[in-house]
Amino acid sequence: MEQTEQASTGIGIGAYIAKHIREYGLLFALIAIMLFFQIVTGGVLLRPVNITNLFLQNSYIIIMALGMLMVIVAGHIDLSVGSVMGFVGALAAVMIVRWDLPVFVAMIACLACGAAIGAAQGYFVAYWKIPSFIVTLAGMLVFRGLSLWLLAGQSVGPFPPSFQSLANGFIPDLFGVGKPNVLALAVGVVTVLILLWLGLRTRARNARYGIEDEPFGLFVLRNAIVAAALLFVTWKLAWFRGLPNVMLSMVILTVVYVFITERTTLGRRVYAVGGNAKAAKLSGIRTERLTFLTFVNMGFLAALGGLVYAARLNTATPKAGFAVELDVIAAVFIGGASMAGGSGKIVGAVVGAFIMGVMNNGMSILGIGIDYQQVIKGLVLLAAVFFDVYNKNKEA
């Protein structure tokens, strides 16, 4: 017990940051990248309209990164998400535009189709032990081909407004003011308060069990930065058109997946399977079933991503989702997940996706060509993972 107390009280801010450099590094990297582009774009990056765009442009990547994180934590990979996303977008277009099915019915059918695709791939990975790299590489080719076939090589659109609002809609101001959008401001303030409350509650619990926690000064600083960023973003959004629909669904999904991964037996078991599948199996965990479910989940989220993407472009194109799997996977690894499985966090993956998104957006504003953009994104991915490995080696 004495040792425990020593550990919890006798650590300085510098030492604590050094120990948790990965988590803080990620946050600082995002801030640094935003500041950098804010300056070099002459303030365009953080204009209300562009902040809104940032969310709209990256929503589907973030949605899929949630599923990809779980797949990677379970020790697998899914290369097919870009193709699946494109295929589901195409399916939605065919159902809604060509067959005139009700939007709601088509959306349910598309999500079910995504889950079924995930189930098919998960079946081979989980129960036949075929490496996920191969199964999903096959899936990537198959669904790329199927979406070409479905669209007969042409773009299909436009969608009815009810479908478009999935991506482009805004939540109306319930308070009726409009400018600024009071709802957006209220949501920002409430979110900050909830985060603070949760943080304090965790601190109290950690103190009760003598768990080493971050020094109070750092806790204040970190929360102040997060709160300032949240309030800033909602303030800006409030002066544009308010909260985008897609932002709301993204936040809800993120919260749900944080909860699933950190608090439920299901989430815990996925980490256990990725950490040591044999040990997990001998502990009575049905490892095959869990692997299967992570792929079903991934398929479902890829479908959702596909719908959002199609709604945003207001058309389904054969090119949709091309190479998107690489952005999604990169986001998860930038967010600190390990290729070997067993570690990684939802929040990390979301921040990783934002880092990719801000870079995409910032470089586009600057008019940097797609060629250089790819080079820079690749180097950032390598740098992030190198930073990880470097820190791990230093520890050992």
By the criterion CB under 8 A, which residues form the site for other proteins?
Answer: 3-4, 7, 205, 209-212, 263-266, 268-269, 271-272, 275-276, 278-286, 342-343
DSSP 8-state class, residue 160:
P
Q: In 323-354, which positions are buried (b, 16+ CB within 10 angstroms) versus exposed (e)?
A: ebbbbbbbbbbbbbbbeebbebbbbbbbbbbb
The 3-class secondary structure across 183-212, one letter per residue, is HHHHHHHHHHHHHHHHHHHHHHHHHHCCCC
User: Which is nearer to other proteins, 59 or 338 (by Cβ)?
Assistant: 338
Which sign, positive or negative, has the C-alpha torsion 352, 356, 359, 361? negative
Residue whose CB is less far from other proteins, 155 or 276: 276
Bridge partners (DSSP) listed for residue 244 = 170
Nearer to other proteins, 224 or 256 (CB): 256
CB of 200 to other proteins, least distance (A): 16
The residue among 6 and 154 lying less far from other proteins, judged by its C-beta, is: 6
Report in angstroms how near the CB of residue 115 gets to other proteins at its nearest.
20
Looking at 27-92, which runs of residues are DSSP E strands?
none
Give the Cα separation of 396 and 394 in Å (integer): 5
Q: Smallest gap, in angstroms, from Cβ of residue 190 to other proteins? A: 23
Say which residues have a Cβ less than 8 Å from residue 353's Cβ, sequence separation at least 6.
58, 61, 62, 65, 327, 328, 331, 335
Give the dihedral of Cα atoms 231, 235, 236, 239; nearest 10 deg.
Answer: 170
Residue with tokens 């930065």: 225
CB of 298: closest distance to other proteins in angstroms?
A: 20
Is the Cβ of residue 47 or residue 286 nearer to other proteins in the bound state?
286
In the bound complex, what is the minimum distance in angstroms from residue 284's beta carbon to other proteins? 4
- What's the half-sphere exposure (Cβ side, CA atoms, 13 Å) at 392? 8
Question: Least distance (Å) from other proteins to the CB of residue 268?
Answer: 6
Kindly state the smallest distance separating residue 395's Cβ from other proteins, in Å.
11
Residue with smaller CB distance to other proteins, 129 or 319: 129
Residue nearer to other proteins on the CB measure, 236 or 269: 269
